[in-house]
Structure 1
Amino acid sequence: MKKLYNISFAILIISALLYSGCKKVLDKGPLTTYTGQLVFSDSTLAVEYLNSIYSNNLPTWAGNGGANSTIASASVGTLTEENQGSNIFVLGTVVSSSVTDIGTGNSATNNYGKIRALNDFISNLASSPIAIGTKNRFKAQALFWRAYRYFDLVRLYGGVPLVLTPLPVVGTAAKQAALLPRNTTTQTFNQIVADLDTAIMYLPGNWPAIDYGRITKGAAQAFLGRVLLTWASPQFNPTNDMSRWQVAYQASTDAITTLSSHGYGLYPKEDVTMWTTEGPGASGPANSEAVMVTEFNTDNSSSNTEDNNTYTASNIPKALGGGGANNPTWDEVQAFPMLDGKAPGASTKYPYDPVHFFDNRDPRFNQTIAYNGCLWPLEGNATNRLWTYYYFTNSSNTATKTTEPVGASSSGFYCRKAVDPAISATNLPYSGTDWQEIRYAEVILNQAEAAAMIGNSSTAYADLVAIRQRAGIEAGDGMYGLTAGLTGTDLAMAVLFERQIEFAYEGKRYWDLRRWKLLESTLNGKKRQGVTFLLQPSTTSGQANTDYLLNNRDAMAQASLDNVYTNYFSYVPMTVGAGSTLGELKYLDSQAITYQTADYFFGIPLATIQNDPNIQQNNTWGGSFDPLK
């Protein structure tokens, strides 16, 4: 068994290193055939193995950071108001075999395959002659990632089998040892918390510059805050046990204390530089917002193809060489507050006009949504403007064509958040923008939500004001547009709305609605909408306005985009298919969203149960396992 184990151990390390994907902290060194004993007798080789763990576990831009293969493959933004997408979740056709993240067979790339690698690392480290301080820091990082993997599983299914030591890999005994029952949901969360508590004990507040990107003490505390907030939320806490909200509040408060003492805080302004400012600074992170990051670079050599990402390329229009994906819906466009922080239609200072929908909005609107006629610097062109309108191509005004020369946006909009305007057309596939899995803003809003639920309204409001103040919303009476006097769940819902705006297109909205069990009440029965921006025809010829606007639109928009909309796009998009010839809303979904109640805890696939008959199915899917215990 020892020899077989050593072979598999070496293969695991080598394959992990060959396919790792981050820069600096995960720089790769060549390993050939090393035994576990040899690897863990040398701190340099142990670091290589630890780096491979980072490579195999760090979330990426794919699926907006989604670590879950099934959710990520659907693209988490399509599960909410943010984007349209037809998939089993919104169509209500999920069955017990749909979500396979728990694994349906042996694989080094599924959650349990990754957990096995982590357990191997932790187990071998115990007998290593490496100095105890170094060993503790190594172990702390591995424990963080084990907690990360189990959190992935528990929020999908409830309790899962807890495997905390390496299981045998071959033979009848190995098969019997793997036939584990599910631990309760409470036990699973307790183990996650225990792993994170140990990690927090030994992780540093900041790493040396060369190790930027490793998990810090503050990042682990912030993640613990996310875990405990989920544990306290209605999905897992239907009786609203206040003690859960209290520990969630304390975890985020502790994270804020640690992070602020090590140079973290809200980035001074909310624009694209909040994403493109990267790496270590003189005494902390160069970007105070970046609590937990996955690093990327622009190296496009054949040996480093996984060191970069295609996020920018995916988001920008096809006419500029991009993928034209991630098209915001009209629903999301309307959700952003006005400049005074009030909801559209509720502000007396800034009345909402659906024709000039872009006027006087929360500054985050223009950092997130790219719309017809907006200034959107791309590919080094600081004066680039986006045009997504349609125009008539005949004098009878019956035939229309898009002004986008290639692949028009399905909704009339694009997502511009974190899209680096400086990347050239040639380098579009090689974006180096880091993914920020946890931003400091999340830690603040995690604290705010828990504070609201335990009756600490003053802290909740202070946190909300801090987020809105940084965003650039007007102070007004000092409340930045917030409704005064909210408490408990009402105040928590204000936090949830703030999360919708602050974290738009960052993969957070679905998980927020799911843990609050609001998917059905928020989305069911709705068809997401887009806008057809249609050029108003002239009185004599459909071509006259078309040619004039095409030749003069950028200059006119620079002078007054409002006037361009008034004179050339003067429609009132209030209802779908209103009959106006000047433009209208359109349904992006062919059928209404239909989330299933059973989806709050997904079913265990039949193949998983066949592999391990001791695993019980969730009671929401006809089994006997209660995911609330």
Structure 2
Amino acid sequence: MKHTYLLYLMMGSGIFFSSCKKGFLDIATNENISKEQVFSSLDFTERFVNNIYTGIPNGFDRVGEFVSLNALSDEGEPTFKQQAKEFNGGGYNASYFPVSSPSWANTYKNIRKTNLLLANIGGVPANGEADEQLKQRLRGEALFLRSFFYFDLLKFFGPFIISDRPLDVNENLQLPRNSYDECVAFLEKSLDEAIKLLPVTFDAGTGYGRATKGMCMALKSRLLLYAASPLNSADNAARWQKAAAAAKAVIDLNAYALYTKNTDKVINYQQIFQDYGNPELIMSLNFGAGKSLEQAFFPPGNSGWGNTVPTQEMADAYETSDGLLITDPGSVYNAARPYENRDPRFYASVLYHGQPFKGRKLDCSTTGIDGIRTSNNATTTGYYLRKYINENINLNTGAGRTMYWVWFRLAEMYLNYAEAANEAAANPSQDPLIYTYINLIRARSGMPALPAGLDKAAMRKRIRHERQIELAFEEHRFFDIRRWKTGETHLNGYTHGIEWTPDGSSYKIVEVFSRIFQQKMYYMPIPQSEVDKDKQLQQNNGW
């Protein structure tokens, strides 16, 4: 098949591993099993790798209770999650950090598991060529998983402590952080090795959900894009060229395709996150069948919790159908009817006052059933999130559906290439693929092509805006703002919402929450408890 889903691959025998004082592994069953037993057969070893996959985070739960990083960027606001509000107000430090994932300590526990596998896989008995190939594949999977966990630390906290083997408690554990460039080089080398060991894709019945070349290459693309960005590098054409090449390599696999199954442009975009099996997905996390997403994001008028809601800033960012911003002269935008003639991705991503939904029109007015600030579950901005929910789900009766978080998809690779190639070139006209890839994404959603003749600065602005719209609510904005070093612009001051009168005849824009962003917040504070244990572990600047 032309896609890979990351499942919660649980061990068939019910064995789960964790660190403990008395040994490397602790088995949560009625039997005990040693490290030696785990690596005594390929069956046990493969199950051990399966367990490591369960450490991959669910992007919907970064702050817990289906509150993601979307609520910590200018895309969204939390309706009731106090920890998210504390983060947005700058109420965190090295001793109190309200974001639950990634955890520095838990991530290193998962890294230790991968290092145990890499250190011991060579000694696992093998009978024949097929077993040797399986050992190599499991090694590749462990290299990918370790790289994924490390990159999660890198993008949140900056440079980490490189550990490429399982450390013993009797060793010197007072270790300094490596430099940013050392971390990137280590991850790039690990991913390059994994790429050589893994298949391009897996068939549904043979290894469905395991790491592939495409997943490794997509992670490498994002890694190198971040490494070339202003937060982590001076303007360096060679780094941008390298990032562009990494994105192009994923595209050239020809293993993935933009979702274009439906002629309805709204449905076409919406179904990327509903159609479990679509060819655009490179890596996604399946966290089971059910109705949890609908419960979390449905409006209260449909018995939902409205956990995270789009901001007015995000609603205003969507272009009009003629490809202009709502503030551009000549735009078809009509302030009296603000939701008409907008980018189809707006209708696929945002629920707004008066929108038909589940057989009725949403009432987000000050007295409506979905009304702004009318209950703990009500929107604080006048909007609700539509992107991930299935309107056909009934919370009271009937079956749920497969729920998944998208980690990598082809559209991101197009945007990664366009950004990196534009930054590497003197002028975007030097590389026609910059226009080609962005316009493919826009055409899929029924939007007009970019205007010709853009210079580098104008193209940069359009690429950044296209990322904001195409990748909305997928965890990208939180990091994009930081790697571009635009946090002071986008994350300071009030977010806004829209307050409609009960008869829907007029509205006003209202202040929602005053945010604070300081220079030190480009990277998160390393937990003070970790710094206290390791005197060589240097805290991030300002914390």
Class of the TM-score when normalised by the shorter of the 2 chains: 0.7 to 0.9
Q: Does residue 325 of the first structure (1) align with residue 300 of the second (2)?
A: no
For 1:84, which of 77, 80, 87 is the aligned residue? 77
1:584 is matched by which residue type in structure 2? K
Instruction: Name the residue aligned to 1:22.
Output: none
For 2:386, which of 394, 408, 416 is the aligned residue? 416
CA contact (8 A) 2:87 2:98 kept: no
Identity of aligned residues (%): 27
Q: Structure 1 or 2: larger strand share?
A: 2
Q: SS state of the match for residue 156, structure 2?
A: helix
Aligned partners of 1:402 and 1:443: how far apart in 2? 37
For 1:390, which of 350, 358, 366 is the aligned residue? 366
Q: SS state of the match for residue 604, structure 1?
A: coil
CA contact (8 A) 2:305 2:378 kept: no
Instruction: Name the residue aligned to 1:510.
Output: 478
Over the aligned positions, Cα root-mean-square deviation in angstroms equals: 3.0
* Displacement after TM superposition at 1:327 (Å): 1.6
Aligned partners of 1:372 and 1:31: how far apart in 2? 55
Q: SS state of the match for residue 586, structure 1?
A: strand
Moved more, 33-42 or 211-220: 33-42
Larger radius of gyration: 1
Instruction: Name the residue aligned to 2:137.
Output: 137
Q: Does residue 376 of the first structure (1) align with residue 357 of the second (2)?
A: yes
Q: How does 1:384-533 map to 2 (within 5 A)?
A: 384-390=360-366, 407-426=377-396, 431-455=401-425, 456-473=430-447, 475=448, 480=449, 482-524=450-492, 526-533=493-500
Q: Does residue 346 of the first structure (1) align with residue 328 of the second (2)?
A: yes
Instruction: Name the residue aligned to 2:60.
Output: 61
Q: SS state of the match for residue 402, structure 2?
A: coil
Q: Does residue 221 of the first structure (1) align with residue 197 of the second (2)?
A: no
Aligned partners of 1:34 and 1:605: how far apart in 2? 33
CA contact (8 A) 2:228 2:243 kept: yes
CA contact (8 A) 2:311 2:495 kept: yes
Distance 1:292-1:603 versus aligned 2 partners, 3 A rule: same
2:452 is matched by which residue type in structure 1? A
* Displacement after TM superposition at 1:429 (Å): 10
Aligned length, in residue pairs: 504
Aligned partners of 1:440 and 1:428: how far apart in 2? 33
Aligned partners of 1:406 and 1:5: how far apart in 2? 41
Aligned partners of 2:85 and 2:380: how far apart in 1? 17
Instruction: Name the residue aligned to 2:41.
Output: 42
* Displacement after TM superposition at 1:7 (Å): 6.4
Instruction: Name the residue aligned to 1:570.
Output: 505
1:154 is matched by which residue type in structure 2? L
* Displacement after TM superposition at 1:36 (Å): 2.7
Instruction: Name the residue aligned to 1:564.
Output: none
Q: How does 1:116-195 map to 2 (within 5 A)?
A: 116-130=112-126, 131-169=131-169, 173-174=170-171, 177-195=172-190
CA contact (8 A) 1:36 1:124 kept: no
* Displacement after TM superposition at 1:343 (Å): 0.9
Aligned partners of 1:325 and 1:232: how far apart in 2? 34
Aligned partners of 2:398 and 2:542: how far apart in 1? 45
Q: SS state of the match for residue 216, structure 2?
A: helix
Instruction: Name the residue aligned to 1:257.
Output: 252
For 2:203, which of 202, 208, 214 is the aligned residue? 208
**CA deviation map 1:347-373 (0-9, x unaligned):** 63x521122111111111110111112
Distance 1:272-1:265 versus aligned 2 partners, 3 A rule: closer
Distance 1:125-1:463 versus aligned 2 partners, 3 A rule: same
Distance 1:100-1:118 versus aligned 2 partners, 3 A rule: farther
TM-score (norm 1): 0.74
CA contact (8 A) 2:74 2:490 kept: no
Instruction: Name the residue aligned to 1:586.
Output: 510
CA contact (8 A) 2:526 2:539 kept: yes
1:570 is matched by which residue type in structure 2? S
**CA deviation map 1:560-579 (0-9, x unaligned):** xxxxxxxxx332xxxxxxxx
Distance 1:516-1:98 versus aligned 2 partners, 3 A rule: farther
Q: SS state of the match for residue 283, structure 2?
A: strand
**CA deviation map 1:113-139 (0-9, x unaligned):** 111111111112121123221111101
CA contact (8 A) 1:531 1:586 kept: yes
TM-score (norm 2): 0.85
* Displacement after TM superposition at 1:438 (Å): 0.9
Q: SS state of the match for residue 608, structure 1?
A: helix
Aligned partners of 1:151 and 1:414: how far apart in 2? 31
Aligned partners of 1:333 and 1:105: how far apart in 2? 32
Aligned partners of 1:402 and 1:496: how far apart in 2? 30
CA contact (8 A) 1:441 1:467 kept: yes
Aligned partners of 2:379 and 2:214: how far apart in 1? 40
Structure 1 runs (4+) greater than 6 angstroms displaced: 4-7, 100-106, 401-406
CA contact (8 A) 1:391 1:403 kept: no
CA contact (8 A) 1:89 1:595 kept: no
Aligned partners of 2:124 and 2:424: how far apart in 1? 45
CA contact (8 A) 2:104 2:526 kept: no
2:464 is matched by which residue type in structure 1? L
Aligned partners of 1:586 and 1:101: how far apart in 2? 27
Distance 1:607-1:73 versus aligned 2 partners, 3 A rule: farther
Aligned partners of 1:272 and 1:440: how far apart in 2? 15
**CA deviation map 1:529-568 (0-9, x unaligned):** 11111134xxxxxxxxxxxxxxxxxxxxxxxxxxxxxxxx
CA contact (8 A) 1:453 1:489 kept: no
Which blocks of at least 5 consecutive residues in structure 1 are unaligned? Answer: 16-29, 64-68, 279-285, 299-307, 378-382, 393-400, 537-568, 572-582, 623-629
